Structure 1
Amino acid sequence: MNRHPRITLLAGGVGGAKLAVGLAAICEPGQLSIIGNVADDQEFHGLWVSPDIDTLTYTLAGRIDSAKGWGLADESNRVLDSLKRLGCDSWMYLGDQDLATHILRTQLRGQGIRPSVIAQRIAESLGVQSNIILPTDDRLQTRIRTPEGWLSFQEYFVREQCRPEILDIQLDGVERATATPEALAAIREADLLVIAPSNPIVSIGPILAVPGLGQAFALANAVKVAVSPLIGGATVKGPADRMLSASGYRCNNLGIADCYSDLIDGLIIDQRDQPDASALEERGLHVMTTNTLMLNDADKTRLARELLQFAQGQLTEERLAC
């Protein structure tokens, strides 16, 4: 195969955005498509906010606040401070520049423009060359049941700082959702399908749960590789470990493999988890161990290159040639 392979990445959260940057750095324009998570979306102050899609967009545009891993760099918060003085809830941080994104998104949604088109317009306006794709244009909402009752994902993650015990997780609206044609085409036409080191329950799970997308992924004639979000058997950041347990999975790389059972050909794990490799290989998975911690752009690019080499050399040279 002489052309560059078409790559589709399923991504959510900071880990997904980091790998997206690494892949974008070594891909030609238009070669990389990224299907993001929209189940964290929520309305704040009358504006429709899409945290995972915005984190992905800002990161690829080189405008992310690298210290936080989300939001825009060189941000101010005068509007939020004013809202707080007026007695409004201000636990969801929305910076002044970031608010412009949400204002535009809400205006265009009100005009009946598809959310997928809006996401692409915002990405292009910020100079992003990779294709950012929504799994569905319908509303999805991850909800977390705690001892105090049901919370939206943002209420649990941001307002409550992930403190409450997780009793259950559900995805509202998925039974009525329709997959976007862009997402279906990106999966169907890919030479390489990659699952980012994102939370498998609330970042990747909602993408694959959209009717038609999980089936398209399983049936796609592509090499399929996942990068584990665990390092040393633990999460780098966030509540993925507790969410895995609450969903009936073990918090180790075997549990990650269970999440993607019958979907992937290979799994990339951190070098500190080398002891997991033999058990994963016994399941028929190809396994690569490397340093999966992405602390800087060099780490992101290195991991992306290693991923492509793994897909090409260890999985199948006939189906994928870079």
Structure 2
Amino acid sequence: MSGQVVILTGGVGGAKLVLGLCHAIPAKSVTAIVNTGDDFQHLGLSVSPDVDTLLYTLSGKANTAQGWGREADTWEFMSGLRSLGGEDWFQLGDGDLALHVLRSQRRQRGDPLSTIIADFASAWGIAAQVLPMTDDVVATKVETDEGILDFQHYFVRRRCEPIVRAIRFEGAATARPGPGIIEAISNPDCEAVLIAPSNPFLSVDPILSVPGIKEALAGSRAPVIAVSPLVGGKAVKGPTAKMMKELGLDVTAAAVATHYAGVIDAMLVDERDPLRDLPVPSARVDTLMTTLSDRILVARAALQLARAIRS
């Protein structure tokens, strides 16, 4: 593809596909729209986990074995915090703190999140455009059998153990799409919009909850291709399959495609999963992205499916 490609992403799986996409086509042609529903204030700092995971991944700084944080980070801050009885359930590496401190400082003086992220990406030589889904505050709340939990308390502190009843996104109704998002989706040079194999409920739905984004996708002239988050009927990482069961859904690619009804034009499915009952056109490939080559393969397969839909 010679045109622009937009990808909606959140979490580690999404970052892997964005990295593959940036190797499959020129990185400057890629626009990543990132979930910020799991952003939160912690220890007085503004933390943006999905944004930072993507920045670390695209700049080669990610701790790939751990799946989050920076490679070769140190933990003196956490050790000192723990010795004083501070909350240590959310891990912040010493190098990781640099992003949170600078972001917090700039937010306090009024800089929008989109500008801060663009500056971080530029400082680290990231050619792709990284756009937060909104500059406004949208907070993912998980309704569980233990009550309503803030996203990070559900995901990190409680390790996704509570049973999920519903999910809501506080602040979404009055939020505005981040600068450049609608323009990127509506750009005549946009040849494909991809939805990464991120958790549909916790990573993609927050993006779609911002008024105007879902409508722009539905009206896009470019094909919208979702990559299934399931591999062999299971989630590679995270609570996707568990949540689907708790929400009364079948743990299948077809259920994910139905969840995205009205938004996607086709779905890329793992070669181990059946294609039956899919409500949209589809293709299959090995979507288990262990190596960089795997990630490039999945990105190319998604783009190939987009080309097939266009033609």
Q: TM-score, normalised by structure 2?
A: 0.96
Which range moves more in the overlay, 118-127 or 302-311?
A: 302-311
Partner secondary structure for residue 101 of structure 2: helix
Give the alignment partner of residue 307 of structure 1, picking from 288, 297, 302. 302
Against the structure 1 CA distance between its residues 247 and 140, is the aligned structure 2 distance closer, same or farther, given a 3 Å change threshold? farther
1: CA distance between counterparts of 2:30 and 2:165? 37
Q: Contact 2:267–2:281 at 8 Å: present in 1 too?
A: yes
- Measured on the aligned residues, the alpha-carbon RMSD in Å equals 1.3
Partner secondary structure for residue 202 of structure 1: helix
Q: Deviations over 1:214-242 (max 9, x none)?
A: 10110111111110000111111111123
Deviation at 1:248, TM superposition (A): 4.6
Say yes or no: does 1:117 pair with 2:115. yes
The answer for the alignment partner of 1:202 in structure 2 is 202
Say yes or no: does 1:287 pair with 2:282. yes
Q: Contact 2:118–2:129 at 8 Å: present in 1 too?
A: yes
Against the structure 1 CA distance between its residues 244 and 278, is the aligned structure 2 distance closer, same or farther, given a 3 Å change threshold? closer
What code does the residue aligned with 2:146 have? E
Partner secondary structure for residue 181 of structure 1: coil
2: CA distance between counterparts of 1:244 and 1:174? 22
The answer for the alignment partner of 1:73 in structure 2 is 71
Q: Contact 1:249–1:258 at 8 Å: present in 2 too?
A: no
Deviation at 1:247, TM superposition (A): 4.1
What code does the residue aligned with 1:4 have? S
What code does the residue aligned with 1:296 have? T
Q: Contact 1:168–1:246 at 8 Å: present in 2 too?
A: no
Deviation at 1:18, TM superposition (A): 0.4
The answer for the alignment partner of 1:261 in structure 2 is 261
The answer for the alignment partner of 1:14 in structure 2 is 12
2: CA distance between counterparts of 1:47 and 1:37? 18
1: CA distance between counterparts of 2:48 and 2:230? 25
Q: Which runs of 5+ in 1 are unaligned?
A: 318-322
- Percent identity of equivalent pairs: 39
The answer for the alignment partner of 2:140 in structure 1 is 142
Deviation at 1:151, TM superposition (A): 1.2
Number of equivalent positions: 309
Partner secondary structure for residue 279 of structure 1: coil
What code does the residue aligned with 1:315 have? I
Partner secondary structure for residue 180 of structure 2: helix
2: CA distance between counterparts of 1:221 and 1:63? 35
What code does the residue aligned with 1:128 have? I
Q: Contact 2:34–2:207 at 8 Å: present in 1 too?
A: yes
Deviation at 1:133, TM superposition (A): 0.4
Against the structure 1 CA distance between its residues 162 and 29, is the aligned structure 2 distance closer, same or farther, given a 3 Å change threshold? closer
Equivalent positions of 1:14-163 (< 5 A) are 14-163=12-161
Against the structure 1 CA distance between its residues 126 and 194, is the aligned structure 2 distance closer, same or farther, given a 3 Å change threshold? same
The answer for the alignment partner of 1:185 in structure 2 is 183
